[in-house]
Amino acid sequence: MNQQDGYADDIVKGFIIWSMVWGLVAVLVGVFISFQIAFPQLNFPPYLTYGRLRPIHTNAGIFGWGIGSFMAFFIYITQRLTRTSLWSPALAKAQLWLFNVVIALAAVTLAMGMNRSKEYAELEWPVASLVVVLWVIFAVNIVMTIVKRREEQMYISLWYILATLVGVAVLYLVNNASIPVSLTKSYSAYAGANDANVQWWYGHNAVAMVLTTPPLAIFYYFLPKATGVPIYSHRMGVVAFWSLIFMYLWTGAHHLLWAPVPDWVQTLAMGFSVMLIAPSWAAVFNGYFSMNGQWHQMRENYLVKFLIFGITFYGMQTLQGPSQSIRTFSAFIHFTDWVPGHVHMGTLGWVSLVLFAAIYYTVPRLYHTEVYSIPMANMHFWLVLTGQLIFSITMWIAGVQQAAMLNATNPDGSLHYSFIETMAELYPYWYMRAAGGVIYLAGLLLFLYNIYKTITVGKAQAAVQPA
Amino acid sequence: MIEKKPIIFLLLATATILVGTIITMVLPFRWINDPKLAIASVKPYTPLQLEGRDIYIREGCNNCHTQTVRPLLSDTERYGEYSKSGEFVYDQPFLWGSRRNGPDLARIGGKYPDAWHVKHMKDPRAMVPRSNMPSYAFLDRPLDTSLTEKKMKALKFPYTQADIDALKGKTELDAMVAYMQKVGNDIPWRKTGKAEVVGELKNPFQDNLSVLPEAQKLYAEHCAQCHGIELKGEVGPDLRDMDKPDAKVFATIYSGITEGGMPAFGDTLGKERTWKLVTYLKSVHRK
């Protein structure tokens, strides 16, 4: 009954629900580790220390919530934009199982300390190999669906989807190259500064290929769907797309400014990071100009509110990011709390707001009902916005304060503060960040409840009126 | 138009992302870890150090501690000589980190005596009162050495049977301390970079009791962890009844005693605060 037009939508439902489960795990762990930083007594070794939990937080967020929902919407969007049913629903079903097995394995192995130490590529080689299988299954299914499509022209979203499929594959394979010692232990195939350069080429382009191109694909699809008017400029979309995926790959070394990797690599990364403002803002303007004459919808249509705030945070993120990649500014704020503040504006502000909108849009349609409560969705919006702003703003202030203290000198040229003196001043900010996290969590719970009720009401209605 | 040809589109997108990849990620392999940049004194890890490093990885220490000193005043004055690529040729993976919730550890090797590390790992707040580091007392358990030889072989590090035999009876904590003492200590920067104290040294605060409250605070923060808040000594010696001349005490605090495990505080404290500490130390007597 849910396979309208022959689309494989049950699988979309599965991915949406599981990505929300992992999203909740990511936020719960995130809130917990923010309390651990403020109250070290909350570390319970060996399994529940900050050092072991932080990778679980990032992996659950990026791979569980992020990738999980991208899989849902790639399958949803691709079928509709190609007017073709999914190439192999059976393969997609296997993919959902494998996805959950991989994420659960990731959480368990990381808690046990099986960890490659490379950020966002922590999973030991057996789990990482399963990720590769998962991605191949997914990519083949989407590409084959596009190949046998019935709509000749490929809309912008499909370009971003294709770029994501190939980009993630290249990045993941190269950075996960390992020398296995046992099933639970391996060493990186690269050494020292080479390993660092490969890692941050991966690390920053995970931001490109996981936290930028997929949400853009989703944004470009759901903004016109939500507002009922087409996207402002196809041509601007073309220029932005190619320049974005060209420039991003040069920028990884801005994570390594002042580190012992060649100077020219750092300088190229800095230059390209600044240039990236152009394609990033082309997407922002494409979103804004699509709202011409439609701005009243910000008030009337809660979906538009999520999407436009999302693209606005994307715009701010892509101004702040390049500024951080400039050597002098990096020298000041790198290694401080400023950076987590920056990252969470992207993940909570940009990626998650867009995903919330997409879920609010699709779930009622997939279950042939209306969203359970729009006031609750509005409340959700304001809570997650407040929580995220508290998080980011306190961390920016904390970062600037600590940086200033670390750089303070006495008249005789010696440093004024020891490290611990600068760190001890951060506790008040850490309390506030944890409070921001709790507010965000409250918003998320409201969202989950709203979607849960939407689904149960939808199912109840379907039972009453058999198709 | 390529927007109508998905396979060509896919190939073009791949080519596009490979340009930056090849130039900034593949090409640097040609220059990074070049034999010309090798540092002869940098040695591979011993079996015990490698096991310690693997515990560092397992516990995710790199989530809070970086291991790169940047060539910036606030880094070099605080941590020591800036990091060079030749120092990391045996690091698979690299552990430079990305966030300093705790201090940088690139120059931790040789900074403190082993006993300091043991006490600090077991109860960080006993040594650094406002620290938020978790307690790692549980590392005081037998070291699992079942994979050690395989690990050394996988990384092609030299070792002897004696090295392997020596692991018997070692704890995880022993391995961790051995690793900490190795990090950043393969180049002789502590000797060459040591601040020389030259000229006649005269204490500007001699018998100036007004500096004592501030000096006592400095002592509590920088010295008490090893010498005890009552100066009775713990990791370091008893400091009551200091009978050395002011200039000698100053030189010890300012430049440290490398062999004795006393860190140099000159870069952190500067001259003025070091003199204040000297004044405080000389003012305390055994009752």
Q: Which pLDDT tens digit goes with each residue over B136-152?
A: 999 999 999 999 999 99
Residues B121 and B247 in one domain: no
| Tens-digit pLDDT profile for residues B43-85 | 999 999 999 999 999 999 999 999 999 999 999 999 999 999 9
Chain A hits for B128, CB-CB cut-off 8 Å, are: 420
Are the beta carbons of A192 and B90 separated by less than 8 Å?
A: yes
d(CA A270, CA A326): 6
Choose the mutation target among A42, A415, A430, A433 for the interface with B, i.e. most B CBs under 10 Å. Answer: A415
Residues B214 and B133 in one domain: no
Residues B56 and B85 in one domain: yes
Mean confidence (pLDDT) of chain B: 92
Chain A hits for B135, CB-CB cut-off 8 Å, are: 43, 45
Whether A5 has a pLDDT exceeding 80, the answer reads no
Distance between B217 CA and the closest CA of chain A, angstroms? 12
The residue type at B214:
E
Residues B65 and B182 in one domain: yes
C-alpha pair distances (Å), A340 with each of A267, A394, A441, B64, B257: 23, 10, 17, 12, 39
Are the beta carbons of A55 and B58 separated by less than 8 Å?
A: no
Q: Domain-by-domain residue ranges, chain A? A: 1-189
Strands A178-182 and A185-188: antiparallel
Residues B84 and B134 in one domain: yes
CA-nearest residue to B18 within chain A is: A249
Chains A, B: CB contacts within 8 A come to 272
Res B193: pLDDT: 61
Whether A2 has a pLDDT exceeding 50, the answer reads no
Chain B hits for A262, CB-CB cut-off 8 Å, are: 28, 31-32
For A180, list phi and psi in degrees, rounded to 5: -75, 140
Residues B179 and B217 in one domain: no
Q: Does the residue B203 lie in any domain?
A: no
- Strand-pair partners of A444: none
Which residue stretches of chain B are H helix?
A: 6-21, 47-58, 73-79, 114-122, 124-127, 148-154, 161-165, 172-182, 189-192, 212-222, 224-227, 246-255, 266-283
Are the beta carbons of A193 and B32 separated by less than 8 Å?
A: yes
Residues B129 and B241 in one domain: no
Q: What percent of chain A has pLDDT over 70?
A: 99
Chain A hits for B91, CB-CB cut-off 8 Å, are: 191-192, 195
By residue range, what is the domain housing residue B10?
Answer: 2-30
Distance between A295 CA and the closest CA of chain B, angstroms? 31
d(CA B46, CA B145): 13
Are the beta carbons of A182 and B61 separated by less than 8 Å?
A: no
Are the beta carbons of B25 and A258 separated by less than 8 Å?
A: no
d(CA B216, CA B282): 12
Count up the domains in chain B and report the number.
3
Chain A hits for B71, CB-CB cut-off 8 Å, are: 258
d(CA A421, CA A406): 9
Whether A3 has a pLDDT exceeding 60, the answer reads no
* Selection from A62, A2, A74, A52 nearest residue A26 by Cα: A62
Whether A406 has a pLDDT exceeding 50, the answer reads yes
- Using pLDDT thresholds of 50, 70 and 90, give the confidence band for residue A1: very low
| Tens-digit pLDDT profile for residues A161-200 | 999 999 999 999 999 999 999 999 999 999 999 999 999 9
Q: Does the residue B199 lie in any domain?
A: no
Residues B138 and B214 in one domain: no
Residues B175 and B54 in one domain: yes
* Selection from A432, A334, A333 nearest residue A392 by Cα: A432
d(CA A251, CA B234): 49
Are the beta carbons of A36 and B61 separated by less than 8 Å?
A: no
* Selection from A119, A114, A125, A124 nearest residue A52 by Cα: A114
Q: Does the residue B204 lie in any domain?
A: no
Chain B hits for A181, CB-CB cut-off 8 Å, are: 147, 150-151, 154
| Tens-digit pLDDT profile for residues A408-436 | 998 878 888 989 999 999 999 999 999 99
Chain A hits for B89, CB-CB cut-off 8 Å, are: 191-192
| Tens-digit pLDDT profile for residues A259-305 | 999 999 999 999 999 999 999 999 999 999 999 999 999 999 999 99
Whether B168 has a pLDDT exceeding 90, the answer reads yes
Q: Does the residue B38 lie in any domain?
A: no
d(CA A211, CA A346): 8
Res B264: pLDDT: 84
CA-nearest residue to B65 within chain A is: A335
CATH number at residue B230: 1.10.760.10
Res B71: pLDDT: 97
Distance between B285 CA and the closest CA of chain A, angstroms? 28
Whether A391 has a pLDDT exceeding 90, the answer reads yes
Mean confidence (pLDDT) of chain A: 96
Chain A hits for B23, CB-CB cut-off 8 Å, are: 250, 268
Average pLDDT over every residue of B175-180: 98
Q: DSSP class of residue A185?
A: E
C-alpha pair distances (Å), A430 with each of A24, A317, A398, A426, B38: 21, 22, 9, 6, 42
Q: Does the residue B195 lie in any domain?
A: no
Side-chain-side CA neighbours of residue B270 (13 Å) = 13
Task: Report the residue from B3, B135, B272 with minimal CB separation from A45.
Answer: B135
* Selection from A219, A243, A238 nearest residue A312 by Cα: A219
Q: Write down the residue that tokens 């403190």 correspond to.
A: B112
Q: Does the residue B198 lie in any domain?
A: no
d(CA A66, CA A63): 5
CB A233 within 8 A of CB A286: yes
Res B221: pLDDT: 85
Homologous superfamily of domain range A1-189: Cytochrome c oxidase-like, subunit I domain (1.20.210.10)
Whether B127 has a pLDDT exceeding 90, the answer reads no
CB A212 within 8 A of CB A283: no
ipTM entry: 0.96
| Tens-digit pLDDT profile for residues B203-262 | 999 888 899 999 999 998 889 888 988 899 888 899 988 888 999 999 899 888 877 788
Residues B109 and B171 in one domain: yes
Task: Report the residue from B57, B77, B100 with minimal CB separation from A117.
Answer: B57
CA A364 to mean position of chain CA atoms = 24
Chain A hits for B64, CB-CB cut-off 8 Å, are: 50-51
Q: Counting Cβ atoms within 10 Å, is residue A359 exposed (0-12), middle (13-18) or buried (19+)?
A: buried
Average pLDDT over every residue of A141-170: 95
Are the beta carbons of B60 and A117 separated by less than 8 Å?
A: yes
H/E element, A106: helix A89-111
Choose the mutation target among A112, A194, A327 for the interface with B, i.e. most B CBs under 10 Å. Answer: A194
Distance between A192 CA and the closest CA of chain B, angstroms? 4
Q: Which residue has the higher pLDDT, A134 or B254?
A: A134
Task: Report the residue from A166, A181, A255 with minimal CB separation from B10.
Answer: A166
CA-nearest residue to B25 within chain A is: A198
Chain B hits for A419, CB-CB cut-off 8 Å, are: 78, 100, 102-103
Residues B93 and B225 in one domain: no
Instruction: Please provide the DSSP assignment of A378-422 as one string.
Output: HHHHHHHHHHHHHHHHHHHHHHHHHHHHHH-B-TTSSBSS-HHHH
Are the beta carbons of A52 and B93 separated by less than 8 Å?
A: no
Residues B278 and B173 in one domain: no
CB A273 within 8 A of CB A205: no
Average pLDDT over every residue of A135-158: 95
Q: Per the structure block, which two tokens stand in for B130?
A: 């406002």
